[in-house]
Amino acid sequence: MNQWGSRLSTSYTEVRSWHRPLMIMVAAMSALVIVASVGLFVDGRELLRQSIWAKPLKFGVSFVMYGATLAWLIPKLHRARRTMWTVGTLFAVAGLLDVGFVAVQAARGTFSHFNAGTDTFNQIGQQIFATGVFGLFGASLIVAIMLLFQRIGDAALTWALRAGLGLAVLGMALASFITGWTSSAGPRTVQDAYGSPVPLVGGHGVGAPDGGGMPITNWSSTGGDLRVPHFIGLHSIQVFVLTVLVLAALAPRIGHLRHERTRAQLTGVVIVGYGALFAITAWQALRGQSLIHPDAATWSALAATAVLTALLAALAVTAAHRTELAHRTELARRAEAASRSELVRRGKAAHRNGLAPGETTTPAGSRETDPHLDAAITPARPSGSTPTRWG
């Protein structure tokens, strides 16, 4: 019980050291997740055949994960601490504004993204929303660049963070900035939750308009959707860090994983495979192809990625096995050398004491009893004589 209490106390102290503005944002997003989850069941209003609270729920969960990661990461950056604290605060403010606007628009029963409505609230909100997107992207990009010049933890964790934030920035850029160039939806008019017409300009879809997609995610089932690579890229950092944690947890049980180099190599394999998946889904979406309807080219790319990842993993494991054998051989060589040194030392000690090698000395003050020797050195006593008594 005392150990659990000590661990909880340590964990609480560590969390308190995280970036506070970002943790405030995480707390607000957690509250939004609860409200949106309740709204899914008690509010029957819909936008494009999906609950109005589905989007706030997804955004809330996403920002809880990403915000908590940044809140933990930023205090560990040792260079430009004040600048990084400011960057983290900028991200927190931008996140609260953006997701707050998504939640408010959902409560109003209308669209937050691509809404070209002329009402004053929507027009002002769209300007703030667009500014917030640049703030989120810029803050993440700055942190990703700073990570290139700093090391956090071992090599596996450092590369996991660098690659994860790099893919997150690419995912944000893909969904936020390429959307307007690739969307083929064009201006269209849809209905809000009350049946009123709402003009939409742009969308995440390529080759098909947004709406009527897959369950939960609402990703397009008829055309390409840039939200797929956006999601994969944005949450790559969690996948990579989890990989590092799993490898570290298995290290005491699996000898190969005890070496930092091996864990870094296996983490690199995951990064390569996951990065290829991000590239394939982006390529698939840009070709106007739905995630659930891949063509032969997509299947070939996925198969090549699987083979490459398996090959790299096998090479990493083989290298780890060789490293382990070399380590054991070195330990055996050192043990043998130490044994020879001990024998030489004992031989020299025996030579100094005038003994033959391998002969042991008898401790001072002690003598083993030999009956023949005692008989030889003890004078014979005359027959019939009795010992002399003194005194």
Q: What are the structural domain ranges in the chain?
A: 11-241
* 9, pLDDT greater than 90: no
What's the pLDDT at 257? 85
- Over range 346-374, report the average pLDDT: 59
Interatomic CA distance for residues 262 and 272, integer angstroms: 15
247: Cβ–Cβ under 8 A, 6 or more apart, which residues? 156, 257, 263, 266, 267
Contact (Cβ atoms closer than 8 angstroms) between residue 295 and residue 186: no
Look up residue 180 and give its amino acid.
G
Mean pLDDT taken over the chain: 84
Angle at 336 between CA 331 and CA 337, to 5 degrees: 95
What's the pLDDT at 79? 86
* 316, pLDDT greater than 80: yes
Residue 43 φ then ψ, to 5°: -115, 115
Interatomic CA distance for residues 278 and 347, integer angstroms: 68
Which of 50-64, 78-92, 143-157, 319-333 comes out lowest in average pLDDT?
319-333
* 227, pLDDT greater than 80: yes
What's the pLDDT at 181? 54
Number of residues that make up the chain? 391
* 354, pLDDT greater than 50: yes
* 175, pLDDT greater than 70: yes
**What is the rounded end-to-end Cα distance, in angstroms, of the chain?**
78
Q: Is 186 left (phi over 0), alpha (psi -120 to 50) or beta?
A: left
* 377, pLDDT greater than 70: no
What's the pLDDT at 245? 94
Q: How confident is the model at residue 335 (pLDDT cuts 50, 70, 90)?
A: confident
Specify the long-range contacts of residues 276-282, CB closer than 8 Å, at least 24 apart: 276/301, 276/305, 276/308, 276/309, 277/232, 277/302, 277/305, 278/167, 278/170, 278/171, 278/229, 278/232, 278/233, 278/236, 280/305, 281/228, 281/229, 281/232, 282/174, 282/226, 282/229
Contact (Cβ atoms closer than 8 angstroms) between residue 58 and residue 33: no
Can you tell me which residue has the tokens 């790559």?
236
Angle at 234 between CA 258 and CA 174, to 5 degrees: 135
What's the pLDDT at 368? 47
